[in-house]
A and B are shown apart, each in its own frame.
Chain A
Amino acid sequence: MALIEINQLTFSYPLATKPTLKDISLEIEAGEFVVLCGTSGCGKSTLLKHLKRELTPHGQMSGTIHFNGVALQDLPQREAASQIGYVLQKPELQIVTDKVWHELSFGLENLGYDSMTIRRRVAEMASFFGIQTWFRKNTTDLSGGQKQLLNLASIMVMQPQLLILDEPTSQLDPIAASEFIATLQKLNKELGLTIVLVEHRLEEVYPIADRVIILDAGEIIANDTPIKAATRLRHVDAHHPMLLGLPTPLRVHHALKQSDETPLTIRDGRTWLEKHYEADHKQIQEAEPSGEVVLDVQDVWFRYDRHAEDLIRGLNFQLHQGEFLSIVGGNGTGKSTTLGLITGLLKPHRGKVTIFNKPLKKYAKKDLYQGMISMLPQDPTTLLVEKEAQLELAMMSKDQTAIDRVIDLLQIRHLLAQHPYDLSGGEQQKVALGKVLLKNPKILVLDEPTKGLDGESKQVLARILHDLQRQGTSILMVTHDVEFSAEHATSCAMFFDGEIVAKGTPAAFYSGNHFYTTATNRICRQLFEDVITTEQLIARCQSQQEVMTHV
């Protein structure tokens, strides 16, 4: 008997014209690690919420769901709460109480366990997740990664059989994300925990899944082992937007049309590549940024609290006209803070920021933020004020043609009448970006613009940024998305210990890193040192294939 059995599940939200889930049938065995993926808005979260009774959305539902052979709605309350664990998407919002220890014990309190049991279980989980050192802290003082770990731990104390996670790594830096995934893998392997996970960042989780389910407009289009699911996806539609989201080894293998076994992990990808292709020492030609310097940061120091340590220590860098600089770095190292400093929102206690050869301090606010520099913040909802998305845009500009242009550029016409809070995370991101673009800034500052976006939306964003760049706009972006950064930025930098420790053209920058680099580079660094994007790799391999066929 399968742990979860879904039979012909169809669901539509109230007032919706089309069902969000269509005739879904699937089984999940105990101990499986299942990854669920699909484009934005295809119904992933909706499906997950159906597995957790307490979260099932209101609407028209037909079909059945069984857990351990019992219909989900007949499951005793206590069992439903403890046996199925659900980690929500935004780590900040799952936390209920103000102390770490209380958060860990919250679920057990609800289940009515006695103090001794709670003490033992909490102690055990805190040790497993390495929470001992911050056990008595306030939950507000935790870093993003710690919050996410706490969320997972506070579900795990309830000893669930099934663990459901909705995009658990979307706010984490690449290293924290892969640590988090490794923890999940450990839970799955060592405790036999069944895991169902939704992700847009598939590079890490896809290979370790036992099974991959691909959803498209509310229907399952593939449900198989990772490799077979990918093949199936290609058969359904050779240009399916989801293909862009698959892990690099698969995409390269598909693109090069080799017929042998598909590599899945970085290691397999590397072996496979070495079998078929030869090393070369061609250099990718990249232009150093050359335009006029539009932003100059000199020896900037900053701290939030007079008594705290400096967070930014001697920061130096320059942004040139038409340059697209992307900054990567760990959670909580001060990237967003840096953006605050260069936009004049925060004041350094030492050092100087110059914009267009004029010190930032000398600008009147209304000149600075009206066309000179604008920022898309990390949290797009901080920009959303109105009751309808279109009013958000209307308040930024009186020029209707400009508004229409932005709407078409971002492809958000169908969202205009909605309440901003009814939009998905990715859609909110687009509306907020629209507001920023309407300011026509000469320097555009973006704080993690790609989070929550699927592969296709990212390409739309990239096109917009390239257009702006061509028109002379300079772009500064902070991101955890190394793939996006490698593919589209003209220069990349690493933020560490309060300053920028390395800056260079993408190929030079990423080929020098070990962890902060793209999956592509990790696969092929032995053969083609400076190749960092999938397109480059495919092109390089194709050129070898051509040579070989000509010989």
Chain B
Amino acid sequence: MKYVGKKILTMLLTLLLVSFLVFLCFTVIPGDPAVAKLGTEASPEALAALREEMGLNRPFMVRYMDWLLSFMRGNLGESYSYESSVGELLGDKVPITITMSLMSMLMIVVISIPLGLYTAHHEGGILDKVIYAAGQVIMAVPAFFAGILITLLFGIILKLFTPGGYVSYSKDFGAFLAYMFFPSLAIALPKSAMTVKLLRSGMIEEKKQDYVRTAYSRGNNTKGVLYKHVLKNALLPIITFLGMTFTDIIAGSIVVEQVFGIPGIGRILLTSISRRDYPVVMAVIVCLAAVVIVVSTLVDLLYQRLDPRIRLEVRK
């Protein structure tokens, strides 16, 4: 319990640091929300008045504390460029991105673990070689390019989905999930290729361990040795890898949303940055950071569930 409390405290401190750094960033980089709003043709007086009105003339720490206090009260502020509050603006977009990320994650697990097991079991076989070669290629394809290829193949040639035909989850949840399938796949494919390779080599490495010989000596067949003994040991590094991958998935989703025309937070983040719409940017980044930190904490906890050697240290 104490351990979990400690973890949560660390998470909160990390979030605080992230928010401060992002706030600092936007103070330092060139660009002015007032100019973004009124245009470069606006008179200096009008700009000065708007800056005063938006509170941009106050000292940095005052603005940050102001933002932090209202954020903690649940008030994410008003968007500079959209005529609505940040909370409303993001409220219906965050679920889209989260759904897509979780779907990708699930796909990576579903694709890579069976393939990793298969290739490790049939090391050197024809299918192993084919999967290995295909994996090398797929690994090198960035998610957005995979998105373009998938749109071309499944959308335009095979007509399995309508490119750009996004359906809102509030309208038809089934159709929403169906549309999200291919964008998620675009993110998951390169990551799956990496995971397969990692699991395969991990299993093959584990197969050389002494306890494997012990397992054979008790009368296990190869399948029994792989599933009952090797798999759990080989999965441990994979879990760490998947935890780190989740960050990449979220980052990847921002670009992939553009390719598939999905109105997730990716699109709003990009427009908000170019319009210097700081309240929106701050909220998005802090939300994403929170998700990433929560996931990595969960991975830590899961790892401890699976590896008794770590569990002991925690108990101590």
Does chain A bind chain B?
Answer: no
Task: Give me the interface of B with A, judged by CB distance under 8 Å.
Answer: none
Interface residues of A (CB under 8 A from B): none
